[in-house]
Amino acid sequence: MPAPDGPSGWDKYKQLSCIGSGAFGQVYLVEGNESNGGRPGRFVIKRVHVKSLNQKELKEAVNEVFILRMLEHPNIVDYLDHFVDDEGYLNIVMEYCPGGDLNEMITERKRCGGEKDYFPEDQVVYIAFQLLQALKYVHGIKILHRDLKPGNVLLSHEGQVKICDFGISKRLTETVHARTVVGTPFYLAPEICESKPYGSPSDIWAVGCVIYELAALRRAFEASNLLAVVRLITSGE
C-alpha cells in the first residue's frame, strides 16, 4: 500500500493487521510511526474506497468525518485524523478499542455459557449508564446517531463503552425532526418503521433494545423476516 508524499498519510503509521473488511473498504490496526511524525500508540484506520461509492455512500463517509471531529466524550470513540491516499481511499484514524464490541461479547457469552448464563446485573446497568451518558451529550448538541446496535458499541481494554459509526448520523435544528428511514431493523423505533418524523427518542429506543439483548441474550424483536420484525415493533408485541 503506497503512502502519499510527506508525513501526512500512511507514512505516519505502521500497518499491523486488517481487523475488518466490507464492500467499500477495510479497517486496519496500526501503530504510530514516531520516526516519521506519528504519535505513539495503537490506532484504527477505517479505509473507505471513495471512488467506488455512490453519492449517498460518499455523503455518509464525509458525514462521519464531519460528525466525529465535533465530538469529544469519554463514551464516544475518539477521532484523531483523516487523509486521502494515492489510491483514492479516505482514511479515518480513530481510537483503538481492544475490547471488541457488544455484539462479539454477547455472541461469546452465548457460545461459552449458553443462553441462560446471563451477564451480571451491575455490568448491564453500567453499560446502559454509559450509553445514555453518550446520548445525552450528542443529543445536547443536536445530533442523532440513528444506527445504535451492539456492533456499534465498542469496548476499551478496561471495559469502557465507546459508541462508534456515525456515518448515518444527522444534525438537527431546534425545530426539525428527521424523516429518512435509516438504521438496522431490529433496533428501529416504531415511528421510524411507520415513516413518521422522529428525533432523539428513537436513539433511546435503540439503546433499550441493545440493553434488552445484553440482559436477555436475545433480541427484543425477532422474527423470520424483516417485515415481521417491523410488525412486532409497531404492534408493541
Categorize the per-residue pLDDT at 169 as very low, low, confident or very high, splitting at 50, 70 and 90.
low
Among 168, 176, 114, CA closest to 142? 176
Instruction: Sort strands 89-95 and 42-49 into parallel, antiparallel or unpaired.
Output: antiparallel
pLDDT over threshold 50, residue 20: yes
Average pLDDT of the residues in 151-163: 94
Whether residue 147 lies in the annotated active site: yes
Tell me whether residue 110 is annotated as binding. no
Alpha helices in 121-199 (DSSP H): 121-140, 190-193
Average pLDDT of the residues in 54-70: 83
Which residue shows C-alpha cell 428511514? 181
- Domain at 102-235, CATH homologous superfamily: Transferase(Phosphotransferase) domain 1 (1.10.510.10)
Contacts 24+ apart (CB under 8 A), 58-62: 60/167, 60/168, 61/90, 61/167, 62/90
Q: What phi and psi, each to the nearest 5 degrees, are found at residue 87?
A: -90, 5
pTM of the model: 0.83
Report residue 21 as a C-alpha cell: 473488511
Q: How is domain 10-95 classified at the CATH fold level? A: Phosphorylase Kinase; domain 1 (3.30.200)
What pLDDT, in 10s, does the model give residues 122-142?
A: 999 999 999 999 999 999 998
Residue ranges of domains in the chain? 10-95, 102-235
Longest CA span, the chain: 59
Average pLDDT of the residues in 169-196: 68
> From the candidates 81, 101, 147, 203, which is the catalytic residue?
147
What pLDDT, in 10s, does the model give residues 189-231?
A: 999 888 888 889 999 999 999 999 999 999 999 888 888 999 9
